Amino acid sequence: MILKQEYDRYTADDLAVWQTLFDRQHALIGQKICREYREALALVEFKGSEIPRMDRINAILKETTGWQAVVVPGILPDKEFFELMAQRRFPATTWLRRPDQLDYLEEPDMFHDVFGHIPLLTQTHYTGFLEGLGRIALRWIDDPDMVERITRLYWYTIEFGLIREEGEARIFGAGIVSSVGESRYCLQAGPPPHLRDFNLDTILDAAFRKDIFQEQYFIAEGYDQLLASLEPLEHRLEQFQRKKKNPPALSGGF
């Protein structure tokens, strides 16, 4: 279901929530978040003092990558979600969490969708990866196991991915960019989370949880590596499918 942003319905509490979230994430950007996101954030001109307008966002996206953001009520079914990706449209909510939900929210709100995802939609290699994932997912949309594996790749890149920049791991995943706690946690000093080099096979087998900080993060060497993973992803999925149809014979017997 595609909706419209009802801008006049935002309250003083909504603006205060956006301002608070924006200010504390903006303070971390120079320390932990990748250069490309920082440049993209400047391009979309988000401000702490103003909740972004979707019509203005779409004007910028149209001029840069041709993508568009569409307003949705919340998390979409897989088929609708990946159809939008394949059509170069990104689903985003326009409601904001309550003041007592600043540090944790079970379902993504506007700050996650817009602050976390939208800036990088101005970057062609990022959107190329998204569009490619959408097209591949639609090919396998009737196979829940294959969709789950594709979702894992999306999760460990677009949502919780890291990227190497000048020899250091930096954040680009929207789930981290929009979370002050996970931004600090994923690259913290002391006992670190599991930081792993990007490996397609490992990711496709890596289950995840949504209700905790991630137990592992994957570091891509660059956006070219993400784009280059799409072709082998299709091959891996075909291999998984063949194994499902032709399981190895059991040995032994009398």
Which domains, and CATH codes, for the chain? 7-243 (1.10.800.10)
- Tell me what pLDDT residue 96 has: 96
Q: Does the structure show a pLDDT above 60 at 17?
A: yes
The answer on pLDDT for 250 being more than 60 is no
Q: Is residue 230 very low, low, confident or very high in pLDDT (cuts 50, 70, 90)? A: very high
Confidence of residue 254 (pLDDT cuts 50, 70, 90): very low
Nearest Cα residue to 53 out of 8, 107, 112, 98: 8
State the Cα–Cα distance between residues 73 and 92, nearest whole angstrom: 8
Helix, strand, coil % over all residues of the chain, rounded to 5: 55, 10, 35
Buried-exposed string 82-120: b where 16+ CB fall within 10 A, e elsewhere = bbbbbebbbbbbbbbbeeeeeeeeeebbbbbbbbbbbbb
Asked whether residue 39 carries a pLDDT value surpassing 50, the answer given is: yes
- What's the average model confidence in pLDDT over 107-115? 96
Burial label, 34 (beta-carbon count in 10 A; 0-12, 13-18, 19+) = buried
Mean local confidence (pLDDT), 96-103: 93
Distance, CA of 178 to CA of 6 (rounded, Å): 22
In the chain, pLDDT over 90 holds for what percent of residues?
84
The whole-number pLDDT of residue 243 equals: 86
pLDDT tens by residue, 83-96: 999 999 999 999 99
- What is the mean predicted confidence (pLDDT) over 236-241? 93
Higher local confidence (pLDDT), 168 or 249: 168
Of all residues in the chain, the percent with pLDDT exceeding 70 is 96
Q: Which pTM does this prediction carry?
A: 0.93
Instruction: Give the model's pLDDT for residue 251.
Output: 52
| Per-chain mean pLDDT for the chain | 93
**Strands (E) located in 166-221:** 168-171, 194-197, 216-220
User: Are residues 99 and 17 in contact, defined by beta-carbon separation less than 8 angstroms?
Assistant: yes
Residue 30: other Cβ atoms inside 10 A:
9
CA trace torsion 115, 117, 121, 122 (10° rounding)? 30
Report CA-CA distances (Å) from 67 to 3, 89, 123, 155: 17, 6, 10, 21
